[in-house]
Amino acid sequence: MDIPYIVEERADTGLNNVKLGIWLFLASEASYVLLRLMAVEWPLGVDVLNVPLGAVNTAVLIGSSVTMVMAYASLKMDSLDRYKWWMSWTIGLALLFMVIKGFEYNHEFDIGNFPWTSTYLAIYFTMTGLHALHIIGGVIVNSYFLGPGAKMWETNKAQFTNRVEAAGLYWHFVDLVWIFLFPVLYLL
């Protein structure tokens, strides 16, 4: 027996396995973030952080979400070349985000702001750090689907498209977390 509903949807649930799985995974991540936020006291405002840089980064990340959608849409339109073009942009923008983040961290360290300086900075570094880890994870997965993983296109188009969709859901989630973090950490 083979495992059913890898690509096609099960009639009575209206889902395929991958989509249900990635949504459950994201649900658990959401409860993780929520509880963490409920938990901490909010010590102070924002003079410490570089709001323009953060805003640029927000734009970069939203941009990468858009290109991710374009990559998925290209597969749906049966064009692997366009998919590779948009996926490269997605990865490139994610890396740009990390570079800008690196400059921000570097600046904070230069002016003597470290995780142990205050609880506000501890929260800033922990949350953006964990977010960055998620970005790195996403870049690894997306790079796999751009490179060796794309071979699946020749053998099983539907399943490959599915995989890219799941990666996309994850990517939008990571993006969404940033859209949440940016106002909370930088603006409030």
Structure tokens at 119: 């609880």
Among residues 79 and 117, whose Cβ is nearest to another protein? 117
**Region near another protein per CB under 8 A, out of 6-14, 54-62, 79-87, 167-175:** 6-14
Specify the residue, 20 or 66, whose C-beta has the smaller distance to another protein. 20
Site for another protein in 123-182 (CB under 8 A): 125-126, 130, 155-156, 159
- What own/partner pairs with CB < 8 Å and gap ≥ 24 does 49-52 have? 49/104, 49/108, 49/124, 49/185, 49/186, 50/104, 50/107, 51/186, 51/187
User: Considering the complex, what minimum distance in angstroms separates the CB of residue 34 from another protein?
Assistant: 9
Q: Rounded to the nearest whole angstrom, what is the least distance from the CB of residue 123 to another protein in the complex?
A: 8
User: Which x/- pattern over 12-51 shows residues binding another protein (rule: CB under 8 A)?
Assistant: -x-xxx--xx--xx-xxx-xxx-xx--xxx-x--------
Which of 10, 55, 99, 109 binds another protein (CB under 8 A)? It is 10
Under rule CB under 8 A, how many of the chain's residues touch another protein?
Answer: 41
CA distance 80 to 161: 10
Q: Is 88 in the site for another protein (CB under 8 A)?
A: no
What is the residue type of 114? F
Angstrom distance (rounded) from CA 165 to CA 174 = 14
What is the closest distance, in whole angstroms, from the C-beta atom of residue 94 to another protein in the complex? Answer: 22
Q: How far is the CB of 148 from another protein (least distance, A)?
A: 15
Residue type at 39 in one-letter notation: A
Helix (H, G, I), strand (E, B) or coil at 104: helix
- At closest approach, how far in Å is the CB of 119 from another protein? 4
37-44: list long-range contacts, CB under 8 Å, 24+ apart. Answer: 37/184, 40/119, 40/123, 41/119, 42/120, 42/188, 43/118, 43/119, 43/120, 44/118, 44/120
Which residues contact another protein by CB under 8 A?
Answer: 1-7, 10, 13, 15-17, 20-21, 24-25, 27-29, 31-33, 35-36, 39-41, 43, 114-119, 122, 125-126, 130, 155-156, 159
